[in-house]
Amino acid sequence: MSAELLVVRCGLVPYEEAVVAQRWLRGAREDGAVPDVLLLLEHPPVYTRGRRSDDEELPMAREWYEMQGIDVRDTDRGGRVTYHGPGQLVAYPIVSLRPYADDVHEYVRRLERVAIGALGALGVVAGTREELTGVWVGERKIGSIGVHVSRGITTHGLAINVNNDLQPFEWIVPCGIEGCRVTSLSRELGGEQDLGGVADTVVAQFGEVYERTPASATPAELGLDNARLGVA
């Protein structure tokens, strides 16, 4: 029997609140107080800068981006700059790497398989590209991956463009890739998609790829009160 995976659908959550929630859950997972957890959510408009980001990836001044209604945040995940916004599905797994012999690369490869499998089930053929991060539809990027691992527990994870505005990607160098073209599920399929249905597909793929049994949980059931996630 596969291990349990608690799936928490959080709605629209400010980025910093999601970071606090992940840190708290990471500690709880390390202590064995909770099993593996998958947070599913959206963020208000925000650019997040990974550990390898440099200033050239945000060619405008920070104040300019804020005038467009987009926050800018530094983060401890791997990778470079990316954009999150409403209509994009963000998946943050807080899981132990012990079943994967603490192999971060194997964990990331499986995360790619989750995204590729979910997109395929939804009618979009996606894959990876050699020496480039993320998940792609041909030469168009549709998903970003960036993780952080502390004491064998993961945070951060995967973002899939579903219905979100793609314009903000044109104001940066996405993931440090010059000339990067970005797409979304709605653009590829020619119409707005059901974000909840996309989330269901991602959960099913995650359970299959990571050999977990998904079970729904509320933020309150995991102790994610207003101070940790902005919802109860």
Provide the annotated active-site residues.
175
Q: Output the CA angle 115-14-83, nearest 5 degrees.
A: 50
Alpha helices in 89-181 (DSSP H): 104-121
Euclidean distance between CA atoms 33 and 96, whole angstroms: 12
CA dihedral 216, 221, 224, 227 (to 10 degrees): 140
Question: How many helices (H) and strands (E) in the chain?
Answer: 6, 12
Give which of 153, 118, 155, 115 is closest to 133, Cα–Cα: 115
Long-range contacts of 57-63 (CB under 8 A, 24+ apart): 57/81, 57/172, 57/173, 57/176, 58/172, 58/173, 59/171, 59/172, 59/173, 60/171
Q: Are the beta carbons of 42 and 11 closer than 8 angstroms? A: yes
- Report which of 191, 170, 205 is spatially closest to residue 68, judged by C-alpha positions: 170
